[in-house]
Amino acid sequence: MKVAILGGGPAGCATAHALRARGLDDITVIEKEALGGCSRTQKYEGIPYEFGPQIMYTDEDRLRAVFERWLTQTPPPTDDHEYHPAVSIDGTLDDPHDFPITIKNVMKLPNPEKVIYELYQLNLSEPDFSNFEAYIVSRMGRTLYETYVEKYNLKQWKIHPRDMDAEWARFRTLTLREKPDMFRGRWQGHPGDYNPMWSGMTEGVQVTSGLCDVSDDFQRVTVDGDPLEADLIVSTLPLSKQLGFINTYIVYVVVEAEGKVMPSYATSFPNHYSFVRVMDFKQQYAVESRYALLDFEFPWVGECDEAKFHEEVGWFCRNVLKKEIVEKWVWNKERIYPVSTRETLSRVEHQLALAARSKVVPIGRSGVHAYCSKDTCIRMALTLADGLPDLTSGDPGRKRGVLDKMREKLS
């Protein structure tokens, strides 16, 4: 069987590995850039970084085994060996709050009594899934929603939370927590370098460079404009050109600092600035260095206002961090975060029905149009390999069953 995999990010590489493990040997991965995609590790003065936060975590032994075949997990550089993101609700670093939201946050707010009363009214066993806003309010009350979530979502997704579907939230426990355990005690960490996994997963397969395209009806697949012939085509490309995505412009900044610069490895700013988050990479993976490497993450659609973004980064470094920028560079990627609305999910259903009648198997964040992590991409690849007889049966119903199973657990 001749297999072509369009895209060499986590989902594409994991698929190559999973199919090789099933005995397939005629596999080609086609990637226009470098293997690993957003999860490809680069280094500055020994500090590893990727495109935004890239935590390795899972609660499934079989997925952990895949990671550990090539990587050694280094636990978070915190006292309890767990990652604890922070959030600034006032735009400063004077009094960072926990994320996920905790009881400690409530007591820091100017109106804790109102928040406690709202929490008392909740029925957590029956959350409201009518839209994302309704879901969050039903889990934490309106005050916490307006303080931590509403404006963040407007910045990140460019639409109001009430216009977003709650599908993504079904796979995350978004409610008040006792402590800010982002990954709830799961196996978690960073290897210092993800690249051995991407090369290891593609060992024994052909990796070529090319610009891939898939028609919305999945009947025409091309590489550099030429038709692609294969028995099975696995696509990590967007499920449809009609589906909405958020682009992300990241400004990487180097400042002199041997210790921590930010409150956490990831600090969010829901109510101020155009950037949604600042990464401090030495807190994601500890490295001895006289420098700190930060990233400022700007979601954008339409026109990318680079001048404004750089002005904000400079102002923040001078006035909040009290640091001079030693060096900075940019990594701008389009179609990074799939937008989830009722309309887009209806389109997803339509596209999956079309894919079930083709040679194409969509996979990964863009392929299934869902916000998901590396462990989910690996799970999808294993599901694909397990379902190979159904995917190649020529029966749309059997193939659709596998496609649906790949979207069952999105995290």
Residue that has been written with the tokens 């700013």 in this structure = 269
Burial 135-166 (b: 16+ CB within 10 A, else e): bbbbbbbebbbebbbbbbbebbbbbebebbbb
The pLDDT score that the predictor gives to residue 271 is 97
Q: Is the pLDDT of residue 172 over 70?
A: no
Taking the CA atoms of residue 60, residue 62, residue 63 and residue 67 in that order, the dihedral angle to the nearest 10 degrees is: 130
Homologous superfamily of the 41-99+183-193+245-337 domain (CATH) = Protoporphyrinogen oxidase, mitochondrial; domain 2 (3.90.660.20)
Instruction: Report d(CA 98, CA 377) in Å as an integer.
Output: 28
Confidence of residue 381 (pLDDT cuts 50, 70, 90): very high
* Helix (H/G/I), strand (E/B), else coil: 27: strand
Q: Read off the pTM.
A: 0.96
CATH class of 2-40+195-243+340-406: alpha beta
Confidence of residue 18 (pLDDT cuts 50, 70, 90): very high
The pLDDT score that the predictor gives to residue 181 is 86
Which structure tokens are listed for 67?
């990671």
Q: For the chain, what is the mean pLDDT?
A: 96
Mean pLDDT along residues 185-211: 97
Taking every pair of Cα atoms in the chain, the longest distance, rounded to a whole number of angstroms, is 65
HEC letters along 299-317: EECCCCCHHHHHHHHHHHH
CA distances, 300 to each of 248, 308, 348, 368, 400 (Å)? 6, 12, 22, 21, 33
Mean pLDDT along residues 260-286: 97
With beta carbons less than 8 A apart as the criterion, state whether 265 and 53 touch: yes
The pLDDT score that the predictor gives to residue 176 is 87
Q: Is the pLDDT of residue 184 over 90?
A: no
Q: How many residues does the chain have?
A: 411
The pLDDT score that the predictor gives to residue 332 is 98
The pLDDT score that the predictor gives to residue 153 is 94
Which structure tokens are listed for 263?
């409150």
The pLDDT score that the predictor gives to residue 410 is 83
The per-residue DSSP string of 179-205 comes to S--TTTT-EEEB-S--HHHHHHHTTTS
Q: What is the pLDDT of residues 102-151, one digit of tens each?
A: 999 999 999 999 999 999 999 989 999 999 999 999 999 999 999 999 99
Query: In this predicted model, which residue has the larger pLDDT, 266 or 181?
Result: 266
Instruction: Report d(CA 406, CA 194) in Å as an integer.
Output: 24
* Helix (H/G/I), strand (E/B), else coil: 99: coil
- Going from N- to C-terminal start, the domains of the chain cover 2-40+195-243+340-406, 41-99+183-193+245-337, 112-171
Q: Is the pLDDT of residue 20 over 80?
A: yes
Which structure tokens are listed for 121?
């009214």
Q: Is the pLDDT of residue 300 over 70?
A: yes
Q: Which helix (H) or strand (E) holds 352?
A: helix 342-355
The pLDDT score that the predictor gives to residue 170 is 72
Mean pLDDT along residues 250-276: 97
The pLDDT score that the predictor gives to residue 139 is 93
Phi-psi region of 369 (alpha: psi -120 to 50; beta: other; left: phi over 0): left
CA distances, 42 to each of 45, 173, 193, 292, 383 (Å)? 10, 32, 8, 15, 30
The per-residue DSSP string of 118-176 comes to HHHT--TTS---SSHHHHHHHHH-HHHIIIIIHHHHHHHHSS-GGGS-STGGGGS--S-
With beta carbons less than 8 A apart as the criterion, state whether 279 and 347 touch: no
Q: List the Cα angle 231/234/235 in 5-degree steps.
A: 135
The pLDDT score that the predictor gives to residue 209 is 97
Q: Is the pLDDT of residue 173 over 70?
A: no
Q: Is the pLDDT of residue 15 over 70?
A: yes
Q: Which helix (H) or strand (E) holds 328?
A: strand 325-338
Q: At residue 317, what are phi and psi to the nearest 5 degrees?
A: -65, -40
With beta carbons less than 8 A apart as the criterion, state whether 344 and 261 touch: no
Q: What is the pLDDT of residues 220-233, one digit of tens each?
A: 999 999 999 999 99
Confidence of residue 318 (pLDDT cuts 50, 70, 90): very high
The pLDDT score that the predictor gives to residue 167 is 78
Q: What count of other Cβ atoms lies within 10 Å of the Cβ of residue 86?
A: 22
* Helix (H/G/I), strand (E/B), else coil: 222: strand
